[in-house]
Amino acid sequence: MSHKPRRSIATLATACGHAGEQAITPAAAEKPQLATAYTLPSDRAYPESITVDAKTGATYVSSYLTGEVFRAAPNTDAAEIFLPAGAEGRNTANGVKVDPAGRLWVIDSTKGVAVYDTSTRALLAQFAATGTDRFFVNDLVFTPDGTAYLTDSVRPVLYRVTPAQFDTARANGGHGDLIAAFDLGSALAPHAPDAYNLNGVVADAAGRYLLVVDMTGGDLYRVSLAPGDNAPIRRVTLRGDDLKGTDGMELRGETLWAAQNSANAISRWHIGDDGASATEEQRFTDPGLAIPTSLVHRGDELLVAASQFDKGGPFGPGTPNRPFRVLKVSGI
């Protein structure tokens, strides 16, 4: 297995010259507001990813530093521990996502992904990254048919787990392998050898394509899921600032939200031309976002994981403000 690399804030930084919000459209005239949605029950939480269970409204948050997963019911001001540190040998947790069947997928960047029953907390299956000593599994998304796609931040590949592969793993003692479905290496701009590349990934509602971000280059890529597409990977035309430092993303209809971690920014984009272009509509920059690593809507409420990675976490030394929080951001 690979060792968990440490992220360099210098490689993720974006231009931070914007003070507060930069208005792109008249609708973005008022500065967004921050509030605490709920707190996390760990002094070392350093939250990385957040997801919502559409059936129950509960949200799940992963801890990069401990591997814990927290759960917060709707209308609560404090989350609980859903999966403890060390569960299935997991000492770090990255992307989390609830699939269409209501199961929770939890990524361990140093191993692969584990899948849990949200009612019983039982482990259902694990998929391991194999065939290489260098990988960093990071984020994931589901298409409408239940297929999972996962990014790797040091190998420029997207892994795929289909429902049939999940069923096969369940029948084989709960174990399967992560298989690379797309290689974006020839499409990405050149990077330094230790630079991170693919991170956040989203899927359009019809399951026609994925959008995946290169966090170091700041580019967005469209990956076609159409069978037989001879050129499935294309760079998306960006009209606005770039997407450097983008960690988690969310796509609703034709609107994309991006959490740009080291820039302490959230940006909102209009996706047009069947996923071929992205136009920036609004950008909100505020130190109170505390290195935002992921975001998700619960209804009309935008929840953001405030990681504090720059305060004793993977971005550098220091002491975090406690308790760790999930934020509620209005106005973007």
Average pLDDT of the segment spanning 244-262: 98
| Sign of the CA dihedral with 166 first, then 172, 175, and 178 last | negative
DSSP states along 229-282: -SS-EEEPEEESS--TTEEEEEEETTEEEEEETTTTEEEEEEEEGGGTEEEEEE
CA distances from 2 to 38, 64, 241 (A): 34, 16, 34
Provide the pLDDT for residue 16.
Answer: 29
pLDDT in tens, 162-216: 999 999 999 999 999 999 999 999 999 899 988 999 999 999 999 999 999 999 9
Residue 257 pLDDT more than 60? yes
Provide the pLDDT for residue 59.
Answer: 98
Q: pLDDT-based confidence at 24, cuts 50/70/90?
A: very low
pLDDT in tens, 112-149: 999 999 999 999 999 999 988 899 999 999 999 999 99
Please tell me what DSSP assigns to residue 190: P
Q: Report H helices in the chain.
A: 9-12, 163-171
For domain 34-313+320-330, give the CATH superfamily: TolB, C-terminal domain (2.120.10.30)
Residue 15 pLDDT more than 60? no
Beta strand spans in 64-216 (E):
69-72, 80-83, 96-98, 103-108, 112-117, 123-129, 137-142, 148-152, 157-161, 175-183, 198-203, 209-214
Q: pLDDT-based confidence at 30, cuts 50/70/90?
A: confident
User: What is the number of other CB atoms lying within 10 angstroms of the CB of residue 180?
Assistant: 17
Cis omega (within 30 of 0) for bond into 323: yes
